Amino acid sequence: MTRRVAITGLGLVSSQGQSPQAVFDAWCAGQSGIGLHTVGDEPHAMTVPYALCTDFDAAAVLGRSRLATMDRVSQLSTVASVSAWRDAGLDELPQVQRDLACTLWGTGGGGTQTTERSYRDLFVKGRARISPLTVVLGMSNAAASHIALQLGLGGECLTYSVACASSAVAVGEAFRRIRSGEADIALTGGAEAGLPFGMIKAWDSLQVTAPAGDQVEACCRPFHAERRGLVLGEGAAALVLEDWERATQRGARIYAEVVGYGGSCDHAHLTAPDVQGQLRALRQALHVGQLNASDVQYINAHGTATMEGDPVEVQALKALLGDHAAKVMISSTKSMHGHLLGAAGAIEIMATTLALHRRMVPPTAHLDQIDPACEGLDHVAVQGRESPGLKVALSNSFAFGGSNAVLALRSVDA
């Protein structure tokens, strides 16, 4: 059995707000959510460019009593998921149907804030004991479990931790289950909480993060000739995927259709990207979606603004698209929401979904000088672009460890 898969609900917590539609408007205007923030506590603290959810209030949705049992990553995840569930119009879904709905979630680090706090209590403050909740707060599957607890979802509850492809893999696996008939409804997506001092130092040691520069909001510049590296961010993006026939029968609003999913491993290097590995995932997504390369009109790129990563992705896309490449729009919304690591795929799939739904392509902000090594596609630079005929789009996620994930989406009336 092969079924169509609809996206019927969107939920978001980001540095630019919690309304997917309003945040998408900000992206299309080229507005950045990146600022200068101090992470960690003295004497272990540093000030860095970051996309933090400064106005996030989990207690307003979940109640203050629950927060003691939730790391920040679980709070972000659950609030975004509740919003997506409501957006899909599933508040009144009977429990017998909720018991069959699955929760498939992605996160790269899980409860990193809890883990570092516990280590500091032990090794810096010299405490003999740490919180008895440390394990359940910090475990990687805690966020998915809290989502299922909050919404009463009784199907599979799984966590995917595949570095920067984590939530894209989660969405892809949700697509597979609904397409095959294993599930009718899936709550999927991913989250990453603001990284603690130790992890910020670890990323800094890799020498892939951008300095603040004169304009901190514009320091993440994918595909730019003078790009300096990625900017980290936190947040959560949740999507409700649903059997198309079921969704139409209940009169649900359908944002877009997921038609293809491709995954691959570079098997070339632990951190360096590989053209052929990315190309295998891209081709598989098209194959599953029964699409030709010439059908693709927009690609939400992985586009991290690293010196090595951006040109490799462009090479893979040009190899995929051939003579059609120059006609395809490409942009990286990381220029505005930062790199959300395990949550990156989900927020970018959401951006791609809304591009198809609104017929509006978000830009790569701050792109006023394209690197010659990244030329050959139609870069949507600085400002978004109306695209009345937009029908087919891809969303790319490429991770450390060589894991690649690509989702193919189609507009509702295509």
Q: What is the DSSP string of 177-199?
A: HHHHTS-SEEEEEEEEPPPPHHH
1 has pLDDT over 80:
no
Task: Work out the pLDDT band at 206, boundaries 50, 70, 90.
Answer: very high
pTM of the model: 0.97
Say if residue 56's pLDDT is above 90: yes
**Is 287 in the active site?**
no
Catalytic residue among 146, 337, 339, 357: 339
Q: What is the dihedral of CA 385, 389, 392, 395, to 10 degrees?
A: 10
- Tokens 């309003």 belong to 22
**What pLDDT shows up at residue 154?**
98
**Rounded (10°) CA dihedral 106, 188, 152, 101:** -120
pLDDT band per the 50, 70, 90 thresholds, residue 378: very high
Question: What dihedral angle (degrees, nearest 10) is formed by the CA atoms of 324, 327, 328, 329?
Answer: 170
What pLDDT, on the 0 to 100 scale, is given for residue 67? 94
What is the pLDDT confidence band of residue 46, given thresholds at 50, 70 and 90? confident
* Average pLDDT of the segment spanning 258-287: 97
| Structural tokens at position 391 | 């029908």
Dihedral angle sign, alpha carbons of residues 153, 155, 158, 164: negative
Query: CA-to-CA distance for 161 and 15, rounded, in angstroms?
Result: 22
- Is 302 a known active-site residue? yes
Which is more confidently placed, 79 or 46?
79
For residue 211, is pLDDT > 90?
yes
Q: 87 CB contacts (<8 Å, ≥6 apart)?
A: 8, 9, 10, 11, 20, 240
- So what's the architecture of 256-410 in CATH? 3-Layer(aba) Sandwich (3.40)
User: Three-state SS for 397?
Assistant: strand
The edge-to-edge listing of strands for the beta sheet with 329-331 is: 157-160, 102-106, 185-192, 235-243, 5-13, 256-265, 403-410, 392-398, 298-300, 329-331, 378-379
Please give the structure tokens belonging to residue 366: 């701050």
What average pLDDT score do residues 355-382 get?
A: 98
Name residue, tokens 């599979």. Answer: 156
* Model pLDDT, residue 39: 82
**Backbone φ and ψ of 157, nearest 5°:** -130, 100
* pLDDT number for residue 414: 67
Q: Average pLDDT, stretch 11-34?
A: 98
DSSP result, 20-70: HHHHHHHHHTT----EEEEEEETTEEEEEEEB--TT--THHHH-HHHHTT-
Radius of gyration of the chain (CA): 20
CA 116, CA 106: separation in Å to the nearest integer?
Answer: 20
**Residues constituting the chain:** 414
Residue 283, pLDDT > 70, answer yes
CA dihedral 382, 24, 179, 402 (to 10 degrees): 50
3-state class (DSSP) for residue 227: coil
Instruction: With cut-offs at 50, 70 and 90, classify the pLDDT of residue 195.
Output: confident
Q: Which runs of consecutive H residues, i.e. helices, occur in 309-412?
A: 309-321, 334-337, 344-358
CATH T-level topology, domain 5-249: Peroxisomal Thiolase; Chain A, domain 1 (3.40.47)
> Nearest to residue 315, comparing CAs of 230, 269, 402, 373?
373
Q: Which strand (E) or helix (H) includes residue 236?
A: strand 235-243
Q: Tell me, what's the pLDDT at 40?
A: 76
**pLDDT category, 44, cuts 50, 70, 90?**
confident
- Whether residue 87 contacts residue 251, with contact meaning beta carbons closer than 8 Å, is answered with no
The overall average pLDDT reported for the chain is: 96
Residue type, 394: L
d(CA 365, CA 279): 26
pLDDT in tens, 313-362: 999 999 999 999 999 999 999 999 999 999 999 999 999 999 999 999 99
Q: Are 345 and 164 in contact (CB under 8 A)?
A: yes
Owner of token pair 């696996």: 173
Q: Do domains 5-249 and 256-410 have the same CATH topology?
A: yes
Encoded tokens for 331: 């942009």
Predicted pLDDT of residue 300? 98
- Which amino acid belongs to residue 99? D
Distance of alpha carbon 300 from alpha carbon 306, whole angstroms: 16
Higher pLDDT, 210 or 43: 210
CA angle 392, 181, 4 (to 5 degrees): 20
37 is catalytic: no
**Section 366-388 average pLDDT:** 97
Domain boundaries, the chain: 5-249, 256-410
Q: In this prediction, what percent of the chain has a pLDDT beyond 90? A: 92
At 41 the pLDDT is 75
Catalytic residue among 28, 53, 164, 219: 164
Single out the catalytic residue among 146, 224, 302, 337: 302
pLDDT at 318 (0 to 100): 98
Q: What is the mean pLDDT of residues 51-58?
A: 95
Asked whether the predicted pLDDT for residue 270 surpasses 80, the reply is yes
Closest to 351 measured CA to CA, from 306, 302, 311: 302
The crossing angle, in degrees rounded to 10, of helices 142-151 and 72-87 is: 40
pLDDT > 70 fraction of the chain, expressed in percent and rounded: 100
CA distance 223 to 331: 9
